[in-house]
A and B are shown apart, each in its own frame.
Chain A
Amino acid sequence: MIASIAQRAHRNERIALNVLRFAAYFVIFAMAVLLLYLAVEGTKTFFVDRFSLFSFLFSPTYDLDSNHPGAAIFIVGTLLVTVFAIAVGGPFGIAVGVFLSEIAPPRMALVLKPAIELMVGIPSVVYGWLGLVFLVPIIREHTSSASGFSLAGAGIVLAIMILPTVISLSEDAFTSLPQALREGSFALGATRFQTIVRVLLPSASTGLAVALILGIARAVGETLAIQLVIGNATAFPVNVFAPTATLTTVIVGQMPSATEGSLQEHALFSMAFLLLIIAMLLILVVRFALRKRS
């Protein structure tokens, strides 16, 4: 009797372990297939259509009629929108993170934290739609922009969208600091503000960098919200209130109608592959930073 219970427990454990192992292998397998697929399709622009990688990356002429899918405008668009979002949302998010970890009374954190979690749960299309309804008219009426569709609008929407990522990660960066740092600082007579700026911020810098980089990763990949407010113009923005396009908005705008095997489809795959490479680089940087810290 006891032996059979032990046997059954043993067998169950073996099954459970195999299920877990399978799940883990499956994730690796799925990622490998995805990478390979994108790598194959994403390089057809260069190997099948013989379009030069240099022109793809640096030519601002996206003209499929003359077989010239230069993606420079979209690459620059992605970079600018991301920089805008991180420049606005980064400091703000870190500030809220500090506040939550060091200053906020527990009761306030009780309200603030679920609010931030809710921000993550709101679908991106809702952010974009709100941007379209509120931001676009405001920008149209109060700036040089004729239509209101603009880089700035997309940047602001994105800044709001990356806030929860930056806030929760920077809060973690602060709460994980040893209490002795604070106590030592206070013991030396530093005020709370001095402690935060002179002691905690430098100590948490790696964690904050990770927060910003993951915010960047989120911004680079965002699609629907941006598409609704950026105007999708195939042109470099002449100022922050001018429309432009990003890699993601071009892909989502043109992929459904791109003919299979056409240069257009290959070029869109190349852009997707480029986005994947950017995402992988950002993850690598994060891992490197975290390893350095430990």
Chain B
Amino acid sequence: MFRNAAIAALALGFSISIGAQAALADVSLTAAGSTALLPLVKDAAGAYQTAHPDVKISVSGGGSGTGINQAAAKAIDIGDSDILAPTHPELVDHKVAVTGFAVVVNPDVTVKSLTKQQIQSIFDGTVTNWKQFGGQDQKIVVINRTLGSGTRVVFEKTVMAPDKLVDSGLTEDATGTVISVVKQTPGAISYAAFSGTHGQPVTELAIGGVAATEANVVTGKYPFWSYEHMFTNGPATPDVQKFIDYVSNATDLLNKNAFLKVGAMKVTETDR
């Protein structure tokens, strides 16, 4: 089992080093965490390195909990997260973007819209067949994210509450895996950030008749969204701050990956 832990550690180290491009760099930054935020950070790191050849940025996933833990342990410079880190007062929060999340189903599922209550009854295990909601006679395959996933926490807070999700379904540990499993599994349902669901061959359900779009997130009509955070251990160093500012203002990259600027929001998290 320790061999496997070692493999896992190695794999993590590997994925961190994959982002390394410039062989000789004066500044070297590392970011890891949320797989929801990952596409944006990857794109931004690529563009930023092109503009600043002296900076090397390594980006990897791992989940929001991993991002927070690693930033707290000073193993990385930036911890990406979909959620706040109340247990780590030493971490400084930088809100870089807003993202919507979509409840997604396999494209063969005929149901296109569910109310919050209906979604809750699927994820708490009381409803198990699509025909109960007017769909075909097919078993519902629930896919949750691993504990420590920020996406999961946002889902619990904005869609499931006050109900609790039950973990008897499948569990996958990254946005990308969730989408590919939903894609290939008949009757599957799960949830992921817009950056992972938009343009994919999965159906994004409307929640209570409100479509999963950026426009509906801005106005607060669509409930399933959250701020995306970059955490630094203590105040950000100038090099880190420059990159964080770059991410939060990279309009094209934000649009491309279905993120919104923090300033674009017409509501706040407490309005939900």
Contacts and interface: CB of A to CB of B under 8 A. Distances in A.
Contacts of A140: 184-185
A97 to B, nearest CB: 24
B196 interface: no
B108 interface: no
Interface string A129-144: 0000000010010000
Interface string B249-268: 00000000000000000000
A151 B181 CA distance: 17
Nearest to A242: B168
B220 interface: no
Contacts of B2: 34
Contact of A65 (B7, B149, B164, B184): B164
A233 interface: yes
B66 A257 contact: yes
A235 to B, nearest CB: 4
A232 B1 contact: no
Most-contacted residue by chain B among A140, A149, A258, A279 (CB, 10 A): A149
Given A254-B148, A256-B63, A260-B69, A147 B1 contact: no
Contacts of B171: 231-234, 245, 253
Contacts of A149: 170
A259 B173 contact: no
B40 interface: no
Most-contacted residue by chain B among A243, A251, A256 (CB, 10 A): A256
A174 interface: no
A147 B4 contact: no
Interface string A223-249: 110000001111100000001010010
A253 B173 CA distance: 7
Given A254-B147, A257-B65, 14 more contacts: A62-B167, A64-B147, A123-B7, A137-B184, A233-B171, A252-B4, A252-B8, A253-B171, A255-B8, A256-B62, A256-B63, A257-B148, A259-B69, A272-B1
Interface of A: 34, 62, 64-65, 123-125, 137, 140, 146-149, 221-224, 231-235, 243, 245, 248, 251-260, 264, 272, 275-276, 279
Closest 5 CB pairs of A and B: A257-B148, A257-B65, A235-B168, A234-B167, A232-B171
